[in-house]
């Protein structure tokens, strides 16, 4: 499936999920709609990342950070808009409006251009699959089922995980971090209301967090491209910074301090999304073909963190009855994610120290061997 088809399909599925959620009459109906929304929202992400990687080789980190600013802008702008829409049209009407807005993703998908290199690799994969398995009529039903399972696991990236075991450490840290990120998004509004501020003020703090994420995603990429900092080190710094911000919330009630901490929380917690992609590109520098599969694997682990974040944070508040224990737990999750990365630096450096397999280098060596052979023949 091409990048354009992935984005358009994701826009259609996610919009149908929003419409279904607005019409839901039971919790089961609502959950099914949310699952459809999640699937549709995840499809365009892989296509976007792979497209950026194909077109931007030298300034990939900066280009990738710019593409992720859309989410930060949405977090900044939509927080107060959601409050107004719910108060005016109710939550069902607000979801219908967002569904109509979400259909614009299909328009953006039709304007995407796929790199010639992606077209060539896709044709080669199809030709290789046809040569090895034969025509569909010649294959048995068991071969068809096994082929579907193989393609499914390949797209999820499990084969990448087998070949690059160090990815499991980073995937676990990403999952833990996204769990803490989800908890922060939920706790920020309710904590602000619990200390005496209005819902409008709480939504404004969420907008400030989105502004911090927007700034972080814009400025980190150029530093990584210039070699000032690696994706590995940037990820550790943002995890530690997020832990410090989560630890500070229970001790702050002044509005100006809450605004500053919310902005810095968004800067640390929200800036990690583009770093994930850069980090995987650094690890898989010697296996470029595994990059697309690793993106699917990354999204799966992150989805687990987001899926578990809501129930876990609600359960933490229910058993503690206060936000102190909840924010301390979120800070502890960030520390765990940082420790997972810090204790495996040698394996990461070993991956980066491996020489890249370059086709031109292979050709040069081949030419040298031929020239040496010719010289020996002349001597004989």
Instruction: Dump pLDDT digits (tens) for 364-380.
Output: 434 434 444 344 434 43
Given a contact cutoff of 8 angstroms between Cβ atoms, the answer to whether 205 and 259 are in contact is: yes
Structure confidence at residue 187 (pLDDT): 84
Q: In the chain, pLDDT over 90 holds for what percent of residues?
A: 8
Dihedral sign for Cα atoms in the order 73, 79, 85, 86: positive
Common-topology check for domains 1-125 and 146-352:
yes
Topology of the domain comprising 1-125: Growth Hormone; Chain: A; (1.20.1250)
Instruction: Dump pLDDT digits (tens) for 238-277.
Output: 999 999 999 999 888 888 898 999 999 989 988 888 888 8
More confident residue, 305 or 143: 305
Q: Where are the chain's structural domains? A: 1-125, 146-352
State the Cα–Cα distance between residues 182 and 380, nearest whole angstrom.
Answer: 74
State the Cα–Cα distance between residues 93 and 33, nearest whole angstrom.
Answer: 16
Cβ count within 10 A of residue 329? 18
Given a contact cutoff of 8 angstroms between Cβ atoms, the answer to whether 14 and 37 are in contact is: yes
**pLDDT band for position 357 (50/70/90)?**
very low
More confident residue, 38 or 175: 175
CATH superfamily label, 146-352: MFS general substrate transporter like domains (1.20.1250.20)
Structure confidence at residue 380 (pLDDT): 39
Instruction: Dump pLDDT digits (tens) for 78-123.
Output: 767 887 888 888 888 988 998 888 888 888 888 777 666 554 454 5
Mean pLDDT score of the chain: 76
- 156: CB partners within 8 A, 6+ apart: 293, 296, 297, 300
With 50 as the cut, is the pLDDT of residue 200 above it?
A: yes
With 60 as the cut, is the pLDDT of residue 199 above it?
A: yes
**pLDDT band for position 360 (50/70/90)?**
very low
Cβ count within 10 A of residue 232? 21
With 80 as the cut, is the pLDDT of residue 195 above it?
A: yes
State the Cα angle at 42 between 36 and 43, rounded to 5°.
Answer: 95
């Amino acid at each position: 499936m091409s990048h354009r088809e992935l984005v358009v399909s994701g826009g259609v599925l996610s919009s149908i999920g929003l419409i279904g959620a607005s019409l839901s009459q039971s919790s089961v109906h609502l959950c099914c709609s949310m699952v459809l929304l999640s699937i549709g929202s995840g499809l365009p992400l892989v296509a976007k990342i792979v497209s950026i990687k194909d077109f931007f080789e030298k300034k990939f980190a900066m280009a990738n950070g710019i593409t992720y600013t859309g989410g930060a802008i949405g977090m900044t702008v939509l927080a107060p808009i959601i409050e107004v829409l719910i108060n005016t049209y109710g939550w069902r009407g607000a979801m219908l409006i967002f569904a109509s807005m979400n259909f614009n993703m299909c328009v953006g998908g039709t304007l995407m251009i796929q790199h010639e290199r992606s077209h060539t690799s896709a044709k080669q994969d199809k030709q290789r699959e046809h040569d090895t398995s034969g025509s569909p009529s010649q294959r048995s039903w068991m071969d068809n089922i096994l082929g579907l399972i193989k393609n499914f696991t390949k797209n999820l990236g499990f084969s990448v995980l087998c070949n690059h075991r160090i990815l499991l450490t980073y995937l676990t840290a990403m999952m833990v971090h996204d769990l803490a990120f989800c908890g922060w998004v939920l706790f920020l509004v309710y904590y602000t209301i619990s200390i005496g501020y209005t819902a409008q003020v709480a939504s404004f703090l969420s907008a400030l967090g989105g502004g911090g994420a927007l700034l972080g995603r814009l400025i980190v990429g150029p530093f990584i491209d210039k070699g000032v900092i690696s994706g590995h080190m940037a990820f550790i710094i943002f995890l530690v910074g997020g832990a410090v911000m989560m630890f500070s919330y229970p001790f702050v009630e002044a509005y100006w301090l809450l605004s500053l901490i919310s902005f810095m929380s968004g800067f640390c917690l929200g800036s990690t999304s583009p770093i994930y992609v850069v980090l995987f590109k650094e690890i898989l520098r010697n296996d470029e073909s595994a990059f697309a599969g690793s993106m699917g694997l990354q999204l799966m682990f992150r989805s687990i963190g987001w899926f578990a974040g809501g129930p876990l944070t609600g359960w933490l508040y229910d058993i503690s009855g206060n936000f102190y224990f909840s924010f301390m737990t979120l800070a502890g999750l960030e520390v765990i994610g940082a420790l997972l990365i810090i204790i495996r630096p040698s394996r990461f450096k070993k991956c980066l120290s491996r020489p890249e397999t370059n086709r031109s280098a292979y050709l040069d060596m081949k030419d040298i061997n031929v020239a040496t052979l010719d010289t020996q023949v002349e001597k004989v």
